[in-house]
A and B are shown apart, each in its own frame.
Chain A
């Protein structure tokens, strides 16, 4: 089992609130990712990072922001949550390994915005 953690696992929050989804890994991986997944649908990359102080937007437009101040920590923040943000958010990490690079996923955070 991979050492990648996400908190909270479930979050119900009102519209307009600011929230931060936490993700941390203890494997020393340089690369970290955030995905959004609606039920029964494919994962969409929303943010990724190649290392400390590196953040990039993914292929799905998102109103969230991320930061990477420490290797092991990659939090995702929504400044003002809306019902359209209701989804599952998955964090992942990997280390450079060329074409055989394996991603390890956290358990996910299920977000419901009322």
Chain B
């Protein structure tokens, strides 16, 4: 199974709240899980990433929680700000013999209200 399932599709949170975006996968061959942030009319930019041998990774206000046995991972944004309003994509990478491929989730449109 090459899919990465992402939820929710959209999310509205008050400033200072903690939005949580969830992703799930089936393929145990995935070996790298990046999150991308995309602002309207722009290309996605790498936000934070984690390997499956780590259960949590923090970078600033962004935290990835990873549950290998459940094949789930999530993004938490602490002390969210209106500037965090964007579309967020989770993704997973699988390596083939001489190549690798990134599979993207369907995206979550996040709005942080002032």
Q: Indicate whether A and B interact.
A: no
